[in-house]
Structure 1
Amino acid sequence: MTINWQKVVIGPSTSIKEALRVIDKEALRVALVVDKNKLVGMVTDGDVRRGILQGIELSASVSEVMNTNPISANASLSSSDLKALMQSRKILALPIVNDDDQLVGLKTLYDTLVIEKRENPIFIMAGGFGTRLKPLTDNCPKPMLKVGGKPMLETLINNFKNHGFYKFYISTHYLPEVIMDYFGNGDNFDVEITYVHEETPLGTGGALSLLPDNLPKEPLIMINGDILTNVDFSKVLDFHVKQASDATMCVRDYEVKIPFGVIEGEGHEITGMVEKPTYRYFVNAGIYIVSNHIINSLSKNERLDMPSLFENKQVEGLKTLKFPIHEYWLDVGRHDDFKKAQVDIHELGL
């Protein structure tokens, strides 16, 4: 939130002259009118000028000239959502309120252009053999295959960077030197990269046990290195924290269309018929948020996949949640997926 936004907060009985002084002094170009912690209006110098033209005295209360229905946004919205709202409504300052309509901040258009750094570690799984994409992967790890002129892994890292993340851990196994020679320690990409090498494949969950002891304590985002997506990772992480989840799995809505009539029954008896039904399921999207204590609980070098990890933690009584994602997402696992990615990348702006 904007620094010192509290200094532009005034009451409805404040004089127009005092409101103008606040607007001028704080250089935020607005004053926020609050009554009992709730936003009741907003004043700009334009509002004051219009009031003067109507003959309203500067000694009158600011309630005479304020906008009583200002555009505001809920604190749960991401920076990208706030930016889009401000651009669409052509506003330079946006009050932020909580679920009780209480003022909790002020966002300016400038704020939305500044990316706030986040200390959460990002763990990218890049050690697979990419067998289904042979011969493209004979001499190249799958995440290093180029889509839109650059490796998929670079696109993934850039997407995280755009949301303020800069601490990366990359799991390698197959042809690790290709990845390490390209990215190095991350300096050329304005990020920090630490490599975690699997001598033998440990599965997605097992690889977590190889992370160093000095790993940041914030929740970790884990993702498969062959995923092309424009998911707002900040929003996923905020959900995990707000819900006090121990482990969160991102899921996608998946439809299965049956081209025939489905017959339901018990024994030989028909109990129902559904013509060409569509069944909907949530499927694993290969993106996870894992709290630090989960990582610390894992045995070193023990093979474990993430679905099994979630099942184990459920048995232990820990909180495991799913987070549906609706943004673009593509698992580039087959040749058809790779061809689709080459087309889609130009529309994603990644």
Structure 2
Amino acid sequence: MKAVILAGGLGTRIAEESDTKPKPMVEIGGRPLLWHIMKTYASHGIKDFVICLGYKGYVIKEFFINYYNHMSDMIVDLGVGEHKIVNTQSEDWKIALVDTGAETLTGGRLKRIASYIGDETFCLTYGDGLSDIDITAEIEFHKSHKRLATVAAVQPPGRFGVLNLDASRIVTSFEEKPSDEMGWINGGFFVLEPGVLDYIENDSISWEREPLSRLAKDGQLCAFPHTGFWRPCDTLRDKRELEALWAEGKADWRVW
């Protein structure tokens, strides 16, 4: 099974980082977000990836082209201009790096890599969200309901305390950052059938709008509830919080 990762957006909300690289290349613990996500999939046996490139896609290409050497020990003989790999910690991944356009929206990017998917069930996620989601269980759930699409449903951590008031405006209770403040939302981490591509018309289609709405209307979209760790990296604040979790050994998304 393949995992498709959307990695072509501008990442304007974290411009401090994305001015020089795509958001999926923002580092947590010295490794890009993209690498963390791929490690999650690999831990469930999915090691065949299709990366949808766009903004500064060459940065991602260069990372993986040089990955083997960067992750290996080597002996360099400057006198003769030769080097030899003596130990490697590289991954056994197969990666298709596909330029899907600088301005293409998420649905259009997915449509553009149709030839890489073929007729098989595949996974899809965004290049900026970390989670300890059980991918294997989600795939099994998807196969059991026999519909075109499954989406991981998550309850994001609240950013603000919630005041509950009575008719006299007296505070009856206070909840500090409740996890269900927004209810269930799209957490990414989809399992899809190739038939979902028929719901995408062109590059200007956002996957999160017309296609998902039409799939839901047609009864072809099921939710896989995930109550464990889930966190996007949308802002510099998010990055710092994820870095702190990694440094403190509390990176719950590290399932490998």
Q: Give the whole-Å Cα distance in 1 for the aligned partners of 2:157 and 2:6.
A: 27
- Once the two structures are TM-superposed, the CA of residue 186 in structure 1 deviates from its matched residue by 8.1
Secondary structure of the equivalent of 2:200?
A: coil
Is 1:224 aligned with 2:120?
Answer: no
Say if 1:213 and 1:262 are closer, same or farther in 2 by CA, change over 3 A: farther
User: Quick check: which has more Rg, 1 or 2?
Assistant: 1
Structure 1 residues 303 and 276, CA gap change in structure 2 (3 angstroms): same
Query: Are residues 1:275 and 2:177 paired?
Result: no
- Which residue of structure 2 lines up, in the alignment, with residue 324 of structure 1? 225
Kindly tell me: are residues 254 and 212 of structure 1, through their superposed partners in 2, closer, same or farther at Cα, counting changes over 3 Å?
Answer: closer
Give the conservation status (yes or no) of the 8 Å contact 1:185–1:192: no
Ranges in structure 2 where 5+ consecutive residues have no aligned partner: 69-89
Provide the C-alpha distance between the structure 1 equivalents of 2:228 and 2:244, rounded to a whole number of angstroms: 17
Q: Aligned pair 1:156/2:58, yes or no?
A: no
The answer (yes or no) to whether the contact 2:200–2:211 under 8 Å persists in 1 is no
Q: Does 1:289 align with 2:186?
A: no
- What is aligned with 1:173? 54
Q: Helix, strand or coil: the match of 1:189?
A: coil
* Matches of 1:255 and 1:151, distance apart in 2: 23
Counterpart residue identity of residue 140, structure 1: K
- In structure 2, do the counterparts of structure 1 residues 255 and 340 end up closer, same or farther at CA, with 3 Å as the change threshold? closer
Count, aligned residues: 223
Separation in 1, partners of 2:191, 2:107: 12
SS at match of 2:16: coil
Deviations 1:101-123 (A, max 9, x none): xxxxxxxxxxxxxxxxxxx2211
Runs of 4+ in 1 over 6 A off after TM superposition: none
- Residue equivalent to 2:78: none
Alignment of 1:238-317 (within 5 A): 238-254=140-156, 258-261=162-165, 263=167, 275-276=172-173, 280=180, 281-315=183-217, 317=218
In the other structure, the counterpart of 2:235 is 334
Cα-to-partner distance string for 1:270-301 (whole Å, 9 max, x where unaligned): 9xx98347784111112222211112453243
**1:175 maps to amino acid:** K
Q: Deviations over 1:113-155 (max 9, x none)?
A: xxxxxxx221111112221222222112111111111111111
- After superposition, the Cα gap between the structure-2 partners of 1:249 and 1:212, relative to the gap in structure 1 and judged at 3 Å, is closer
Q: Report which stretch shifted further, 289-298 or 322-331.
A: 289-298
CA deviations on 1:212-264 (whole Å, 9 max, x unpaired) are 4252422221111011222121111111111112111111124765325154x
Q: Does 1:344 align with 2:225?
A: no
CA contact (8 A) 2:101 2:109 kept: no
1:1-350 mapped onto 2 (5 Å cutoff): 120-184=1-65, 189-254=91-156, 258-261=162-165, 263=167, 275-276=172-173, 280=180, 281-315=183-217, 317-345=218-246, 346-348=249-251, 349=254, 350=256
SS in 1 for 2:153: strand
What is the DSSP-based 3-state SS (H/G/I as helix, E as strand, rest coil) of the residue aligned with 2:61?
helix
**Matches of 2:39 and 2:236 in 1, distance apart?**
24
More relative contact order, 1 or 2 (CA 8 Å, 6+ apart)? 2
The CA RMSD over aligned residues, in Å, is 2.7
Q: CA deviation at 1:337?
A: 0.8
Distance 1:274 1:320 in 2: 39
**What is the percent sequence identity of the aligned residues?**
22
The AA in structure 2 aligned to 1:275 is T
Distance 1:304 1:133, change over 3 A: closer
TM-score (norm 2): 0.77
> What is the alpha-carbon distance in structure 2 between the residues aligned to residue 214 and residue 176 of structure 1?
18
Kept in 2, the 8 Å contact 1:123–1:170? The answer is: yes
